[in-house]
Structure 1
């Protein structure tokens, strides 16, 4: 009788959900983020040093601006003065200005304003506000609404409009942001860059149908959709309840949160091509980190069901922390800049992207939100978000 009982017991153990994982404790999360961030700060002690790849660029372009979004997120849970000083020094080295000046309409150039405005809120020195407000004011006063022709632009600029709207209580910022967003959603590429059937976004007009991936599916680039998720999260975080069009952004966020879980791979990552695992099907950090960021934020704000989403983000974070973070803090499996699955390939544990900064920014945004999740009491999801 003993052997059948043991066999049955073993069989029961084998049928348990072996993929279920737990999130690391706060101390471990912070240790991993600190290691990755320390690597970068050691490598870039001069915050104003130009970035040299295929050409020389100033260090307040979008790639570096995304890093500082992550750094200030880390600073929000670990108030090390060196983080704040590093961000302030970056702003000062660039005289709190924008790439291409206040005349720029390009969202990438305005991304630095997210950090400038965050630092202004900590210490309201007028020079921190001056150029980014002047640039966005020019946008608000212009009738043009077709500037955001690529979906990355939503993350780069929407939080800036949201912050200025919240700071000034001037709804003109919210109105302009919505018109730019809605044109990207419904007009660019012919019928818009958003596919409501799949709950995902094409990166730009080059990828709308009839463009197909090798397996015949639509091309939904992982990091591009990650930028949209981040845009919704960062905008919703800033906009007060009842602000114009806030409900639209929340519904977009929730629809994307519905679309992403079935696409997660067994190893915890999402494919660079979300609907085609055969098109450069290796591991990749940036898209995965942005999705973790979005899901963890939703749990922290009671918009998602913890029973469903917590295992998803645990699997993804544990994979990144174990398989991407080198002993010295360098991040592997980061796809270089581009706009589609083939760009920056091959991506591997040891491959170095053309820019190392934005990948770390994505990773810190995700880790910080998980840190807050470990610190927070459970929040019951709203009825509309139990998907």
Structure 2
């Protein structure tokens, strides 16, 4: 009898893990539950600060972008309090590598605060302006093409993660200050990265030139012989595209390029979603990992949900995938609010675990929740 019960339980579990898309589409989302999960994630992360280099680095930038998006949707002042506190404590500074896109990601949160707080003298965007002007208009070794390392550091944004770090900031800065020249410069450098790293056959971005195949002689391959495409790397790009399109003027001359790229990547990411809802760290070799990863999956969930909510992606086709992904993301959150199953800082597919966490993983979780809340 005991064996029979165990067998029935196993069958039930398998059925529960493989929920058909049609059934998922009919699932009712509990917005109060989603909001509670997001607040718990915020509270835990604020109580356990972590960063790679400094409180103004890219990890904090990605996290507070998630906090900004959570506030934009919910208007809960807990998010705004966290945004203002970190901006004030950082003295509104970027990190110090003016040529490096990572080091201005924190400014997305500063700009968001600036667009929502009109108190004289509180917001200081001068450090952001200084960074952007140097980043775009001054020479550096990457722009000159003189760095010949294997990563292909011959353009300003030589790694795909950069497309999340700097472009949404430039876009938002152009909008906030009504200076379209920053948007035009953003497009110029974005196209350099696209032309160098986007694989039109796979409809995905290589992380950098080390992972760009040249014929069939490339040594960097997955165990199954396929190209290496990193989940979080493509999550950075797709999530960044959603951020870009959200603030980009509808009449902007290059907007059709970004909308098309968003739809092309979204369709590929949808094709690659595993049955349990979470994307593995390796997109084309998911069998190498026995569990999904939260940061890449969080960015995908945010982007796909944003596409549905804004009428760019077909609701009937994409919403079931978003719901399935959100349900899977929730299962990766510990009871205390910590978001686990986040791959640590890296540049290629690596394992994650229930206990691995990073602030940018929490940011991705908050970004996902901010758009899932809007699903109808």
Q: Same fold (TM over 0.5)?
A: yes
Deviations 1:49-105 (A, max 9, x none): xx477xxx32111111111111122222333333212211111111101111xx611
CA distance in structure 1 between the partners assigned to 2:371 and 2:59 by the alignment: 20
Establish whether residue 200 from structure 1 lines up as the match of residue 207 from structure 2: no
Alignment of 1:322-333 (within 5 A): 323-333=331-341
Residues 137 and 281 from structure 1, CA distance in 2 versus in 1: closer, same or farther, beyond 3 angstroms?
A: same
Alignment match of 1:296 (pick from 293, 296, 305): 305
Q: How many residues align?
A: 337
TM-score calculated relative to the size of structure 2: 0.85
Segment drifting more, 280-289 vs 73-82: 73-82
Structure 1 alignment gaps of length 5 or more: 1-13, 45-50, 187-191, 375-387
CA distance in structure 2 between the partners assigned to 1:301 and 1:352 by the alignment: 33
Alignment of 1:160-309 (within 5 A): 160-186=169-195, 192-209=196-213, 210=218, 211-309=220-318
Structure 2 alignment gaps of length 5 or more: 1-14, 144-154
Contact preservation (8 Å) 1:108, 1:156: yes
Alignment match of 1:59 (pick from 23, 31, 55): 55
Establish whether residue 335 from structure 1 lines up as the match of residue 343 from structure 2: yes
Displacement of 1:17 after TM fit? 6.8
CA distance in structure 1 between the partners assigned to 2:28 and 2:56 by the alignment: 34
Residues 143 and 58 from structure 1, CA distance in 2 versus in 1: closer, same or farther, beyond 3 angstroms?
A: closer
* Match in the other structure for 2:117: 123
* Match in the other structure for 2:375: 373
CA distance in structure 1 between the partners assigned to 2:66 and 2:139 by the alignment: 33
CA distance in structure 1 between the partners assigned to 2:46 and 2:222 by the alignment: 38
TM-score calculated relative to the size of structure 1: 0.82
Deviations 1:232-267 (A, max 9, x none): 110111111111311111111010011111111111
CA distance in structure 2 between the partners assigned to 1:52 and 1:194 by the alignment: 29
Deviations 1:190-225 (A, max 9, x none): xx1101111100001111112321111111100100
CA distance in structure 2 between the partners assigned to 1:140 and 1:244 by the alignment: 20
CA distance in structure 1 between the partners assigned to 2:264 and 2:133 by the alignment: 31
* Match in the other structure for 2:133: 137
